[in-house]
Structure 1
Amino acid sequence: MTPSSQNPNTEKENTAILSVGSNSALVLMKLIVGFALGSVSMISEAIHSGMDLLASIIAFLSVRKSGQAPDDEHTFGHGKFESISGMIEALLIFIAAILIIEEAIAKIIDPASEPMNQTLMIAGIMVMGISVGVNALVSARLMKIAKKTESIALESDAWHLRTDVYTSLGVMTGLILIWATKIAILDSLIAIGVAFVILKAAYDLTKKSYKDLIDYRLTDEEVSRITSIICEHQSVYVNFHGLRTRRAGPEIFIDLHLVVDKDISVEQSHDITDHLEKDLKIEYPRANVTIHVEPNTGEHIKKPPLCDLAR
């Protein structure tokens, strides 16, 4: 089976497993070299990657759970397991940043008496370079599948790894500067800089996951596209109103009121809504569409102005 023909849930799970594997290897390498070198910035990066590893495991479990069919206890599906995953991952990132800042400040107050081993510094620079390359490739793959499957868990994981790319670059640059200048305090200062980058990523992820959990509507671009699709059918109905949207992980929910000619049959009304629902699902395959049909009583003569804006 080619990647393009894989079941979306299988593709998501396989991509999540790839992230778990790559993070496991990177954490191990960074910890070994970081402790051997005594570099707080490198150990901080190992902590960051460790949180990424835990986040990847959570992402894998959440995409597996969210892919399950609705059941008696979850009649609207399991999509919000991915949103919960995003909140947990954000909390882990916050914790990682606090630990990094605490360790860096402690090392500034009580610096190491011996300089870093030059040979180990070269090994550390090489490990950071490997981390940059691996995370750049894996994060690109994660983001591609996240956008394709509308998975917030994989998107969160992708952003974690993208952040790791930048922080690894920062640590690698710092090690090069320390190797060249012998100014050891740069190690702690870079670690604090890494922590603030991580805090920003955690804030963005918290905001995105929180919106899903409180049923925040879809983005302006998505609502505009949904409106445009509805308006493409305006020749067969009188008006529409009450459009509402929300997201639950990879699932999105769309409901609206459709005003039709009062003289058409129930079968004709059903055909109109069925056609509209199918067109919406072409654009949004994981959409759950609910359309309430209303007869035109003379109060809905004009087409909605949104249709003019959506052209």
Structure 2
Amino acid sequence: MNGNNTQAEADRLKVQTAHLSVISNAGLVILKFVVGFAIGSVSIISEAIHSSMDLLAAVIAFFSVKKSAEPPDAVHAFGHGKFEDVSGLVEALLIVIAAVIIIVEAVLRLASGQVQEFEPGLLAFGIAVMGISVLANWYVSSRLMKVAKQTESIALESDAWHLRTDIYTSLGVFAGLIIIHFTGYWMLDPLIAIAVAIVILHAAAGLLKRSFADLIDQSLPGPDEERIKAIICAHAGQYAGYHGFRSRRSGPDIFIEFHLVMPGEISVTRSHDLADHLEADLLVEYPRAKVTIHIEPCGEGCTQCDSACTCTNRE
């Protein structure tokens, strides 16, 4: 599948997957809050807060992938990909807020010494809820990450990382509740909550860095730029050189620009055909790329290029 049909199917897949995340997170938030308050466990309540942020992030991701799928218009001539970058940044900030809330609550519990003792029967419900959370988030996050890689969606990738951190923290709470059940060491509950918050903050740092880089139009990663240049150089015998190479990302879309130096006597038609061919080759590996090639005449005086020419990138 190629062209607009492939892109439309990718956009539909992103929206469907984001919708699945919203439904899953909504169910887990309700379940964790009900059981957490019933037991009085700050670690389960902290997980409920974490999942609430996941739910909000999932909703933001859902609307951002729908918006980013819209074609360019008069106001957004370069498309709507930045909506996904903004979504990733907002989601990362939400993770930070969730972590701060959790730490404050846990520290207050420790400082006051008022740590809740759990009834064994209710504790079993808490353990079961955390087990369900791990399984549900493992499935949904795996689905999100797979689709994010397929469609190069930072919004879905951010959502997937949200749920990945939820898996790890849920496992920690799950193990901690089991230890509490067998040892009766209730003080472990707020300590687990603080550990949960630290893991959350670590995830937030990575998401903030990635989202901010795209928002300020940072160049593509080195390996991607080198691959793009290798594709250009595969046609080195047909042009004199290239320069002014630039790249950036906007959500799932990438933008590639460079000046292509052609022999002075080559016709506009032949130059245009080569530019079209280069663009087509780049789109094979980067189907969401927007390629801009500016043709320039070579000043060396030659009238044609052949296999003796080298790939010259005059930055």
- Check whether TM > 0.5: yes
* Equivalent of 1:233 in 230, 235, 247: 235
Which residue does 2:286 correspond to in 1? 284
Counterpart position of 1:102: 104
For 2:76, give the aligned amino acid.
H
Question: For residue 282 of structure 1, what is the amino acid of its counterpart?
Answer: V
Segment of structure 1 superposing worse, 127-136 or 111-120: 111-120
Separation in structure 2 between the aligned mates of residue 190 and residue 253 of structure 1, nearest angstrom = 44
1:303 partnered with 2:305: no
Partner of 1:115: 117
Q: What SS does structure 1 have at the residue aligned with 2:170?
A: helix
**8 Å CA contact retained: 2:240, 2:312:** no
- 5+ long unaligned stretches in structure 1: 307-311
**1:41 equivalent in structure 2:** 43
SS in 2 for 1:7: helix
Correspondence 1:182 to 2:184: yes
Give the alignment's Cα RMSD to 1 decimal: 1.8
Maintained 8 Å contact 2:40/2:116: no
The partner residue of 2:199 within 194, 197, 200 is 197
Residue 263 of structure 1 deviates from its aligned partner by 1.2
Structure 2's unaligned 5+ residue stretches are: 1-5
Give, in whole Å, the separation in 1 of the partners of 2:289 and 2:7: 20
Pick closer, same or farther for the CA change 1:114–1:170 going to 2, 3 Å.
closer
Partner of 2:137: 135
Match of residue 3 from structure 2: none
Q: CA deviation at 1:262?
A: 1.2
Please point out which of 92, 95, 113 is paired with 1:93: 95
Taking structure 2 as the reference length, what is the TM-score of the superposition? 0.93
- 1:180 deviates by 1.1
| One-letter amino acid of the structure 2 residue matched with residue 283 of structure 1 | E
Instruction: Name the residue aligned to 2:160.
Output: 158
What is the total number of aligned residue pairs between the two structures?
A: 304
Inter-CA distance 209–183: structure 2 relative to 1 (3 Å threshold): same
Q: Normalising by structure 1, report the TM-score.
A: 0.94
Structure 1 residues 8-62: Cα deviation after superposition (integer angstroms, max 9, x where no partner): 1111000000000000111111111111111101100000000000000000000
Deviations 1:77-110 (A, max 9, x none): 0000001111111111111000000000111122
SS in 1 for 2:291: strand
Give the superposition deviation at 1:112. 3.4
The question of whether the paired residues in 1 share the 8 Å contact of 2:115 and 2:186 is answered with no
Give, in whole Å, the separation in 1 of the partners of 2:109 and 2:78.
51
How far apart are the structure 2 equivalents of 1:82 and 1:299?
A: 47
